[in-house]
């Protein structure tokens, strides 16, 4: 009995030893034992060995693991940032700063990195890696990551595996935008179905989609599908999509027209004040805008690490600097030429040449690029066919705010009351004690300061140079005359109207001819209404 028990114990010990040996060999690499690798560290190390096809199989096994580290490893391999050192049997990820981190432990590599070699991939494997990354990101808790993953699958096209994964996840998706993108991707995959009715259902599902992939697939199937019913359905769906796109194109033209109008508003609103109150044709108005633009550039040079806040500093600075220059121009030149508009035109034209040359002497004739703050970069994507750039959106809002602020100054302050009194009847204003000369100086300074603020806005759209203001001076006068001299509401309506008209004419006539047509239309309008849309009212308005 004792012998039997000892033999049984010996056999059990042998079996346990063989089982442990088998389990340890199960985790070895395939190149050493021929057994498939199933653990994370073994698969990562196996990426550095074998052929490209074997590496593709390894990546599939790695993606199947429930390990959060696999996304980083696959992404690094796809981007060409995965390295291996055969002497240390180590795989590392190279970060943007040039440092290496162990792909398994995620700790910094402190040893010699001279032996690290990039793990190679080809285009086929890279496409496979992108699809696997998209599939892995579908389970992310971040909605932005999930949406980007679906967009990637849309761009690369679905296969059987990714289609089954999407079909399993689409019902549980809580975000409607992501769920819609998933359904579009599945409908695109369903277009390959051999059953005619399934293809028709897929086309009907894509009828309202604005995704480029959907339009491309419908265009192809409308000409190449073997079924006439499918082709006709695809043609109908394309027409429906094109009608929807035309509405969004119209909205886009409206936005860009308002954006151009906001630039015209900023450039003309200061001129409307000076021209309306004092009757001065200020040809140096564009150079005051140039001064504001250069103020923005100088502030960014003084505070290179504060680009995000540079505009907040530049706006009051440009207003004060350009306003001071405007007061100096009015006190030094303009006040001797009141009542002689032709001579003010010639004098201010000479001043504009002096200011341009001064800018060339100080800043050189070269254009200066102003950095765009991060919060003004990029665009707001409303749908695949309509996006709004943040810089133009903020300039539109900024233009409206400046208009509202100026209206409050003219309606609610003592200076505004005196400006309106002088603009309507200068003689009567003087008779009741208004110092018209100082009102003229402050009004000219106010208009010049707003021109400087307009230069800050323009610096976010174009390069800053000595000739910056010359491109807008004629347009500014057009806006003022079209809206009504001295009327701010007329300036607002005139700027926005001319901006929208110009944008709708550009696709048909081109940028240059569109401006010519706008000028011709303006001349015809002035023939009918010489005082503009909103003429100034008052006893001296006809002077």
Tell me the CATH number at 266: 1.10.3470
Q: Which residues are registered as beta bridge partners of 368?
A: 464
Indicate whether 234 belongs to any domain. Answer: no
Contacts of 161 (CB under 8 A, 6+ apart): 135
CA dist 247 and 244 (Å) reads 5
Please tell me what DSSP assigns to residue 464.
B
Same domain, 318 and 429: yes
Alpha helices in 377-487, H assignment, sequence order: 390-412, 414-424, 426-431, 436-458, 470-483
CA gap 445, 358 in Å, rounded: 20
In this model, does residue 298 exceed pLDDT 90?
Answer: yes
Identify the pLDDT of residue 541. 47
Whether residues 352 and 486 share a domain: the answer is yes
Q: What is the pLDDT of residue 542?
A: 47
The string of pLDDT tens digits covering residues 263-291 is 889 888 888 887 766 778 888 988 999 99
Q: Look at the chain and report how many structural domains it folds into.
A: 3
How far, in Å, CA of 381 to CA of 151, rounded?
14
Task: Check: CB of residue 257 under 8 Å from CB of residue 496.
Answer: yes
Sheet containing 90-94, strands listed edge to edge, beginning at the edge strand earlier in sequence: 100-102, 90-94, 82-85, 117-118
Q: Which two tokens mark 77?
A: 């391999």
The residue behind tokens 């030094």 is 332
Q: Please tell me the predicted confidence (pLDDT) of residue 20.
A: 43
Question: Looking at residue 371, what is its pLDDT?
Answer: 86
Q: Which two tokens stand for residue 250?
A: 């119209």
Q: What pLDDT is attached to residue 38?
A: 59
Q: What is the pLDDT of residue 27?
A: 38
CB 344 within 8 A of CB 282: yes
- Secondary element (H or E) of residue 102: strand 100-102
Confidence grade of residue 319 (pLDDT, cut at 50, 70, 90) = very high
Q: Are residues 164 and 306 in the same domain?
A: no
- pTM above threshold 0.85: no
- Is residue 365 domain-resident? yes
Q: When comparing pLDDT for 322 and 103, which is higher?
A: 322
Long-range pairs for 248-256: beta carbons < 8 A, 24 or more residues apart: 248/210, 248/383, 248/385, 248/386, 249/385, 251/386, 252/386, 253/500, 253/503, 253/504, 254/500, 255/388, 255/392, 256/392, 256/503
Query: Where a domain ends, among 123, 149, 184?
Result: 123
* Distance in angstroms (rounded) separating the CA atoms of residues 361 and 369: 18
pLDDT at residue 414 above 90? no
Asked if 476 and 356 sit in the same domain, the reply is yes
Tell me the percentage of the chain whose pLDDT exceeds 70: 91
Percent of the chain scored above 90 by pLDDT? 17
Residues 308 and 424 in one domain: yes
Q: Does residue 323 sit in the same domain as residue 463?
A: yes
* Within-domain flag for 537: no
**pLDDT for the residue 537:** 59
| Residue 202 located in a structural domain | yes
Which pair of structure tokens corresponds to residue 50?
């074998």
Burial class (CB in 10 A: 0-12, 13-18, 19+), 51: exposed
Contact 160, 186 (CB under 8 A): no
10 Å CB burial of residue 172 (0-12, 13-18, 19+) is exposed
Mean pLDDT, all residues of the chain: 82
Model pLDDT for residues 22-43, shown as the tens digit of each residue: 443 433 333 433 434 557 888 8
pLDDT at 360: 93
Rounded distance, CA 82 to CA 295, Å? 47
Compute the average pLDDT of residues 362-380: 87
Q: How many C-alpha atoms does 464 have within 13 Å on its Cβ side?
A: 30
- Tell me the sheet residues that pair with 47: none
Give yes or no: residues 119 and 145 share one domain: no
218 and 294 in one domain? no
Radius of gyration of the chain (CA): 35
Task: Go through the chain and tell me how many residues it has.
Answer: 543
- For residue 231, tell me if it sits in a domain: no
Cβ-proximal residues to 521 (8 Å cutoff; 6+ apart), any chain: 501
113, 164: one domain: no
State the Cα–Cα distance between residues 135 and 146, nearest whole angstrom: 9
Q: 430, 338 in Cβ contact below 8 A?
A: no
103 vs 76: CA distance, rounded Å: 9
Q: Print the domain residue range for 104.
A: 2-123
Determine the average pLDDT of the residues in 380-398.
88
| Contacts by residues 313-318 (CB-CB < 8 Å, ≥ 24 positions apart) | 314/456, 315/453, 315/456, 318/291, 318/292, 318/293, 318/449, 318/452, 318/453, 318/455, 318/456
For 143-148, which contacts have Cβ atoms below 8 Å and span 24 or more sequence positions? 143/175, 143/178, 146/173, 146/175, 146/178, 147/175, 147/177, 147/178, 147/181
Domain boundary, last residue among 91, 123, 155: 123
- For residue 206, which phi and psi values (nearest 5 degrees)? -85, 0
Distance CA 487, CA 296 (A): 29
Q: Are 443 and 277 in contact (CB under 8 A)?
A: yes
Residue 51 DSSP class:
-
The three-point CA angle 497-502-507 to 5° equals 140
Q: Last residue of some domain: 180, 206, 226?
A: 226
User: Do 475 and 355 fall into the same domain?
Assistant: yes
Q: So what's the pLDDT on residue 276?
A: 67
Q: Is residue 411 part of a domain?
A: yes
**CA 518 from centre of chain:** 29
Residue 246 falls within a domain, yes or no?
no
pLDDT digits (tens, 9 = 90+) for 159-210: 777 788 788 888 888 888 888 888 888 898 888 888 889 999 999 988 888 8
Within a domain: 413: yes
| Residues 55 and 175 reside in one and the same domain | no
With a CB cutoff of 8 Å and minimum separation 6, the contacts of 350 are: none
91 lies in the same domain as 64: yes
User: What pLDDT, in 10s, does the model give residues 224-233?
Assistant: 888 889 999 9
């Amino acid at each position: 009995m004792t012998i039997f028990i000892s033999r049984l114990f010996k056999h059990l010990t042998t079996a346990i030893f063989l089982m442990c040996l088998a389990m340890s060999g199960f985790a070895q690499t395939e190149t050493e034992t021929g057994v498939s690798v199933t653990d994370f560290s073994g698969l990562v190390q196996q990426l550095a060995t074998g052929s490209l096809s074997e590496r593709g199989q390894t990546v599939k096994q790695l993606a199947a693991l429930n390990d959060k580290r696999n996304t980083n490893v696959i992404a690094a391999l796809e981007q060409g940032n995965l390295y291996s050192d055969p002497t240390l049997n180590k795989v590392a990820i190279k970060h943007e700063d040039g440092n290496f981190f162990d792909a398994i432990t995620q700790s910094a590599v402190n040893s010699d990195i001279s032996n690290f070699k990039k793990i190679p991939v080809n285009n086929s494997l890279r496409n496979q890696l992108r699809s696997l990354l998209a599939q892995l990101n579908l389970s992310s808790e971040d909605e932005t990551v999930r949406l980007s993953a679906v967009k990637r699958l849309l761009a690369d096209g679905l296969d059987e595996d990714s289609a089954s994964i999407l079909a399993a996840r689409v019902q549980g998706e809580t975000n409607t935008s992501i769920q819609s993108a998933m359904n579009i991707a599945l409908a695109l995959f369903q277009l390959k179905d051999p059953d005619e009715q399934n293809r028709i259902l897929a086309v009907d599902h894509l009828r309202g989609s604005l995704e480029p992939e959907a339009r491309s697939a419908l265009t192809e199937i409308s000409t190449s599908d073997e079924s006439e019913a499918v082709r006709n359905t695809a043609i109908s769906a394309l027409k429906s999509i094109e009608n929807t796109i035309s509405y969004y194109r119209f909205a886009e033209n409206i936005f860009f027209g308002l954006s151009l109008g906001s630039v015209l508003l900023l450039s003309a609103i200061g001129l409307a004040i000076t021209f309306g109150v004092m009757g001065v044709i200020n040809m140096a108005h564009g150079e005051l805008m140039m001064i504001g633009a250069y103020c923005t550039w100088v502030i960014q040079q003084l505070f290179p690490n504060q680009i995000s806040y540079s505009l907040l500093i530049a706006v009051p600075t440009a207003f004060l600097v350009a306003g001071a220059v405007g007061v100096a121009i009015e006190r030094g030149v303009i006040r001797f030429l009141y009542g002689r508009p032709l001579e003010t035109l010639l004098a201010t034209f000479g001043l504009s040449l002096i200011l341009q040359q001064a800018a060339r002497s100080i800043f050189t004739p070269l254009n200066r690029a102003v950095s765009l703050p991060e919060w003004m970069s990029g665009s707001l994507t409303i749908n695949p066919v309509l996006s709004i750039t943040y810089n133009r959106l903020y300039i539109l809002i900024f233009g409206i705010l400046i208009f509202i602020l100026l209206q409050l100054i003219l309606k609610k302050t003592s200076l505004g009351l005196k400006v309106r009194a002088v603009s309507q009847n200068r003689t009567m204003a003087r008779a009741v004690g208004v110092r018209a000369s100082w009102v003229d100086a402050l009004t000219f300074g106010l208009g010049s300061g707003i021109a400087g603020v307009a230069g800050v806005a323009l610096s976010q759209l174009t390069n800053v140079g000595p000739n910056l203001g010359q491109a807008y001076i004629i347009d500014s006068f057009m806006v003022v005359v079209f809206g009504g001299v001295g009327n701010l509401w007329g300036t607002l309506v005139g700027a926005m109207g001319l901006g929208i008209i110009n944008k709708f004419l550009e696709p048909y006539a081109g940028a240059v001819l569109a401006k010519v047509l706008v000028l011709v239309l303006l001349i015809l309008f002035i023939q009918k209404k010489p005082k503009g849309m909103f003429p100034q009212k008052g006893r001296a308005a006809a002077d």
